[in-house]
Amino acid sequence: MRAVVQRVTHAQVQVAGETTGAIQNGFLVLLGVSRDDTEKDAEYMASKIAGLRIFDDSNDQINLSLSDVGGEVLLISQFTLYGDARKGRRPSFVHAASGEEADRLYERVATLIREQGIRVEMGVFGAMMEVTLCNHGPVTILLDSKRGF
């Protein structure tokens, strides 16, 4: 499982002109699921996202987590994080999970983050989405569950 985590002052996602998710202070997370991912990857990713300490403390050091600042998460499914463009010019997506399994694990990550007391808004799995955000810092962190445990 791969995630691009962006610290934001606000973010929203729209599908067909309708807002399906919006947050204020928190993380916009683009989440990709590979065909090899399991429940263990979802648990790792949810724990890492919820505990990631990338908000400023009173000394302007990045030292605080979502819980510390009352932050929220906008979670967006992003199969293109498993695009492989090493050969040719058109990416291959053979390493991305099938739609059904990817959706199940995407929903599982959202549930696990919510269980840690963090508000989670979501996009619509498989839909054409328009995401807007204000990246604060900018701070952007890459996470990969296969490199984490």
Residues annotated as part of the active site: 78-80
- Which segments within the chain are labelled E, that is strand? 2-15, 18-23, 26-32, 55-56, 62-64, 72-77, 120-122, 130-144
| 91 cis-preceded (ω within 30 degrees of 0) | no
Sign of the torsion angle spanned by Cα atoms 14, 28, 92, 41: negative
